[in-house]
Chain A
Amino acid sequence: MTRAWSDVRGWRALGTGLLWTAPWWLGFLFFLAIPMGVSLYISFCDYPLLQPPVYVGTANYAALAHDPVFQTVLANTILYALLAIPLGTVVAVLLAVLLNQPLRGQGLFRTCLFVPTVVPLVGTALVWLWMLNPEYGLVNHALRAIGPALEAINGLVARLTGEPSAWLSDLAAGPKWLQAPGWAMSALVLISLWGLGSPVVIYLAGLQEIPQELYEAAMLDGASPVRRFWHVTLPGLSPVILFNVIVGLIGTWQIFALPYVLMRGEQGPERSTYFYTMYLFDNAFRYLKMGYASAMAWIQLLIILLLTGLVFLLSRRAVYYRGA
C-alpha cells in the first residue's frame, strides 16, 4: 500500500524518524557513502593527491593485472588466509572445548589464554622477534632440542621417498624464520595464533548454548567423546564457526600492523611478508598513486564480498541453526 501524498501525519512521522536517526544516516552519508563513491571515481583516475584527478578510464585496473608486486601481495595474502584461518579455527575450537571442561583452575586457564589478546601489538611483535631469533630464540632452542627426533623422521622420509625433506632438515636445525623467504609466512601464521583469545571466548559462549540433552542422548546411545564432539559439538558450534571464519577472512585480507611492526616497515625477504593492505598504503601515501590505491581498495572489497558470499553458500549445508 502506498502512502497518499496528502497524508500529513505520515510525512510528519517520517520527518521525525529521519530527524532522530539523522546522526546515523548523516554520518553514513558523509563519512562512508560519499567517500566510497569518490574513491570509486578516483579508482578510474590518475590522482597523485596534490593535483586534481585526471580520468584515465580502466588504466589502473589494467595496470594492476600486469603489476608483479600486486600479484605477489595478492598471493601472499591468499596464502596467509589459507593458512591462518583454518589453523586458527581448528586450534581455537579445540582450545575452547578444552577450556569448557569442568576442571579446577578453569578460570585461570581462560584468563591466561585471553591475556595475549590485550597485550599491545608492538609488544607482541617485539617478544616474537626474540622468540623467533634464529640463533638465540626460544622456538629454535626447542626445535634443536627435538632435532634428533626430527632428523630420525627425516631419515624415514628419505627411505620412503628417496631423498630427505629439506623442510624437515630446516626445522631440525632451526629455521631462520623472518629472515628466510620460505619461513617468514609460517612465522607470521604462528604469531597469529597468539591472538586467538577473542575467538576462543566466542566459541566458549557458543559451547554454552549447545543443549546438554543432546550430549546425554548421545551418551545413552553409546557415543564416544570423539563422536560426541563430531556429531554434537561441531554442529552446535557451526554458526559460531561461520561467524569467526568470516571475521577472520576479513581480518586476514586487511592484515597490516603485525608484519609492518615485525619487519620494521620493510617488505620482507623477497617480499614474502608484504601484504595487500601494505602495498595499498604504500601506493596511496608513499608513492602518491591514490587512483591506483583506490582501484586496489575496490578490488579488495570485491574479493572480500565474493569470498564471504562463497563461504555463506558453502556453509548452507554445513551450518546447523537450532530452531531453523
Chain B
Amino acid sequence: MAMNIRGAILLIVLGVPAVALLALGPRGRYGIPPGRTVVRYWEKWTGVEGQVMQEVVDRFNATVGAEHGIWVEYNAVSSIEQRTLIATAGGDPPDVAGLYDYVVPQYADQGALRPLDDLAGQAGIRLDEFKPVWLEICRYNDRLYALPSTPYTIALYYNRALFRAAGLDPNRPPQTIAEFDEYARRLTVRDAAGRIVQAGFTPSTAMLGWWPWVWPCFFGGRLWDGQRCTLDTPAGRAAIHWLADLRVAQGVEAMIAFEATAGAIESAQNPFLAGRIALLFQGPWMSNWIAKYAPTLDYAVAAFPSSTPERRHVLASADVFVIPAGARRPREAMVFLSYVLRQDVLEELCRRHNKLSPFRSPQPDFLARHPNPFIRVFDELANSPDAFGYPKMPMWLRVLDEIKQMLNRVLASPEQADAALEAAQRKADAIVAEYQQMAAKRHGGQR
C-alpha cells in the first residue's frame, strides 16, 4: 500500500510537469498559418548573419509568401554540406539549401542538385542582371545548379602604417608579384634574437591563408582544364618557386615559429589587426573585425597583384542557394528565391553580411552604406575578365587536401619545392583518373 502511495506521488511529481510542459511549454516562434505550403530552407548562417536571413524570411512570409500561400521555415544547420548530402541521399532533402560554391560541381556531378536554368526563368529571375562571374561559378557542365546569395572577391589588405615604417609609399600597393615579393621582404622585421616579430606576408594556412590553392592563378594558371588537374604548368612552377624563394628570404624556421603564434581570427590577436602581418589576402568581411578590434588601424585594400601588371587575376567566390534533387516543392522554393534575389532584398542581405552585391550595377545606397569602406575595390574586381572561381572539379576536396600537403611541404622545406609539386601532380592525376574510371563504370552500368 505504502508502495502504491509512493508510486502515485512519483507519478504526479514526474507526470504533471511533463504534461504541463507538453500543453503549455515553449512553441516554435510561429504557428504556420493554415493553408500555407511549407518550404523547408536550410542555411549555414548563425549569429548575426542568421538573424539577418531570418528577417528576410519573415518579410517574405508576411508579404509574398502570404500572397502565394507559401511559408518558409528557416533552419540554421551546422555542417550543412554533410547534412544536405545525407538528407538528399535519404530522399528527404530541404527545398532550399544554402551551400558553398565549391561543393556545387561535386554535388551536381552526383545528381544531388536540381538544374535551375528553366526554373529560374519560370520564376521570373532575370539572370542578366547579375555580373557574369557570379553565374559562372554557379554553373557546372553548362547548366545552372545554384544561384548566388552572398558573393565576395578576395583582395590585398595592407597596413599603411607599416608601409610608412618600412619606407614604402602607403598610397602605392604592389602592382606585380615581383613588387609584392620585394614589399613582403622589406616588411618582415626581426628582433635582436632573430625572431620574426612582423611578417610581410605568409600564405600559411595557420595564419589566415584560407585559399592555399590560388597562387598559380596569379601567374596566369588555372587548376582544371576539364580533364586534368594542372598543377605542374609553367604558372604552377613559377608560383611554387615564388613561395619557396620568399620563404627562404624570410627564414624558414623563424617563419614557422612566427606562424605558430597566430591568434584567433575574430579577436584583437588577429595578426593583421595586431600589426604583425603587413600584407593579407582576405575578403570584405575583414572590416567587421577591424571595426570591432582595431578601429584605428590605418589600412587600405587593393587588388592582389598578378605576375604581369596588365592582367588582374581575382578570386571570386560565393555562398549559394541550391535546390536539392528530390526536393518536394521546387516551384514554391523558386518563388521564395525570386523574392530573395530581388535587388533590394539581396543587397540588404549582402550589405549586412559584409559581402558584395552580385548585381551588375549595385544600387548607390548599397555602396554608400556598406560597412566595408573599400567595397568599391572588391566590387570592381568582380568585373575583371581574369576573375576565377574554385576549380570545377567534382573530386576537388581530395585534390585540395593534396595541394595543402604540397604547400605545407614547400613552406617547411622550400628546397623540395619541385619534388613537392611533382608529388602533388602525381597524386592529383591518380585521384582524377580514379574518379573518371568509376564515373565511366557507373555510367556504363546505367546504360
Contact = CB atoms under 8 A, between A and B. Distances in A.
Contacts, number: 73
A50 B404 contact: no
B75 interface: no
B408 A269 contact: yes
Interface in B411-447: 412, 434, 438, 441-442, 445
Interface in B363-401: 395, 397-398, 401
B105 to A, nearest CB: 12
A134 B254 CA distance: 11
A133 B263 CA distance: 11
A186 interface: no
Nearest to A129: B260
B271 to A, nearest CB: 13
A51 B257 contact: no
A163 interface: no
A135 B261 contact: yes
Contact of B89 (A49, A56, A177, A267): A49
Contacts of B397: 282, 286-287
B195 interface: yes
B261 A269 contact: no
B82 A285 contact: yes
A304 to B, nearest CB: 25
Given A176-B256, A176-B260, A51 B111 contact: yes
Contacts of A270: 405, 408-409, 412
A20 interface: no
Interface string B301-333: 000000000000000000000000100000000
B361 interface: no
A186 B145 CA distance: 46
Interface in B241-262: 256-261
Contacts of A135: 195, 257-258, 260-261
Nearest to A279: B401
B141 interface: no
B107 A50 contact: yes
Contacts of A287: 395, 397-398
Contacts of A56: 441
Contact of A134 (B88, B257, B441): B257
B205 interface: yes
B405 A179 contact: no
A114 B290 CA distance: 40
Interface residues of A, number: 28
Interface in A130-158: 133-136
A63 B256 CA distance: 35
Contacts of A133: 260-261
Interface in A169-207: 176-181
B12 interface: no
B441 A54 contact: yes
B112 interface: yes
Contacts of A282: 397, 401
Nearest to A268: B408
B112 A266 contact: no
18 contacts: A48-B438, A49-B110, A50-B88, A50-B325, A54-B441, A54-B442, A133-B261, A134-B256, A134-B257, A135-B195, A135-B257, A135-B258, A135-B260, A267-B405, A270-B405, A285-B85, A287-B397, A288-B110
Interface of B: 81-82, 85-86, 88-89, 106-107, 110-112, 195, 205-206, 256-261, 325, 395, 397-398, 401, 404-405, 408-409, 412, 434, 438, 441-442, 445
**Leading 10 A-B pairs by shortest Cβ distance:** A50-B110, A50-B112, A285-B82, A49-B89, A134-B260, A286-B397, A287-B398, A134-B257, A179-B260, A46-B438
Given A179-B259, A282-B397, 8 more contacts: A46-B441, A50-B89, A50-B107, A135-B261, A285-B85, A286-B398, A288-B85, A288-B110
